[in-house]
């Protein structure tokens, strides 16, 4: 693993929700305890990890240029924030959600401004209709032509292309209706509902 990959994988969030360093393999709170001891910091270590985390957060207001306590607290916060951000980005990667770079978002806004909201809403309907057709073709292929690998491959490729078109239009819809954080919250709630239904053995029709 090169230096770049090592840096990207320097921290992560464990299953219990605590941040860990990977080189060396150690919990971030334990690493902070070592720093406090090693640098003569006055931060109280006679506490559990949660209390230590809260104490370090309080010392974040100390000037890191004037106080070793503030410097350690700043170091802790940077590592914690980095690990948390890495974990959230990993959600997108694991879910296979395409990334839209800054220039892509700018292009989406330009399209809305140039063509107007109503035409772009109509375009969203059209692209979703195309995806529906592609899904129907895939369903027919796997149902009636399940031995024809070539047809199924073509159907898969068609669905992937239509997903890309719809994904761009969904990004435009979020730009049009606003409040993406609410959309994110609703997604989480619906996933919890699905999880509850699966855990309870229920079959969802919608």
Q: How far apart are CA 52 and CA 44, in angstroms?
A: 8
**How high is the pLDDT of residue 98?**
83
For 53-70, what is the mean pLDDT? 86
**How high is the pLDDT of residue 8?**
73
Domain 102-199 has CATH 1.10.287: yes
Q: How far apart are CA 26 and CA 173, in angstroms?
A: 44
Share of the chain above pLDDT 70, in %: 96
For 35-54, what is the mean pLDDT? 91
Tokens of 168: 């761009």
Share of the chain above pLDDT 90, in %: 54
Give the 3-state secondary structure of residue 117. Answer: helix
Question: pLDDT grade, residue 25 (50/70/90)?
Answer: confident
Strands 25-27 and 19-22 turn out to be antiparallel
pLDDT, tens only, 91-114: 877 888 888 888 999 999 999 999
Burial of 162 per CB tally in 10 Å (0-12, 13-18, 19+):
buried
Q: What is the mean pLDDT of the chain?
A: 88
- H-run or E-run covering 180: helix 180-199
Query: Does residue 47 surpass a pLDDT of 70?
Result: yes
Q: Are 44 and 119 in contact (CB under 8 A)?
A: no
**How high is the pLDDT of residue 203?**
54
Tokens of 125: 């309907």
Q: Tell me which residue has tokens 């109503």.
A: 118
User: DSSP E strands: which ranges in the chain?
Assistant: 11-13, 19-22, 25-27
Q: Does pTM top 0.75 for this prediction?
A: no
For 123-141, what is the mean pLDDT? 95
DSSP state of 62: S
CA–CA distance from 167 to each of 11, 51, 68, 150, 186 (Å)?
31, 43, 48, 26, 18
Domain ranges in the chain are: 3-95, 102-199
């Amino acid at each position: 693993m090169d230096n770049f990959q090592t840096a990207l994988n320097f921290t992560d969030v464990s299953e219990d929700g605590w941040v860990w360093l990977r080189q060396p393999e150690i919990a971030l709170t334990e690493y902070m305890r070592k720093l406090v001891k090693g640098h003569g910091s006055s931060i109280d270590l006679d506490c559990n990890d949660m209390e230590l985390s809260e104490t370090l957060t309080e010392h974040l207001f100390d000037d890191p240029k004037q106080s070793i306590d503030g410097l350690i607290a700043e170091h802790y916060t940077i590592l914690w924030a980095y690990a948390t951000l890495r974990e959230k980005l990993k959600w997108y990667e694991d879910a296979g959600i395409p990334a839209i770079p800054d220039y892509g978002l700018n292009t989406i806004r330009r399209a809305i401004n140039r063509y107007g909201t109503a035409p772009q809403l109509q375009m969203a309907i059209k692209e979703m209709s195309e995806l529906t057709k592609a899904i129907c073709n895939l369903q027919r292929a796997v149902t009636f032509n399940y031995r024809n690998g070539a047809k199924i491959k073509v159907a898969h490729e068609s669905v992937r292309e239509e997903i890309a078109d719809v994904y761009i239009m969904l990004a435009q819809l979020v730009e049009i209706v606003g409040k993406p954080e609410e959309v994110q919250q609703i997604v989480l709630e619906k996933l919890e509902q699905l999880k509850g239904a699966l855990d309870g053995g229920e079959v969802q029709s919608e």
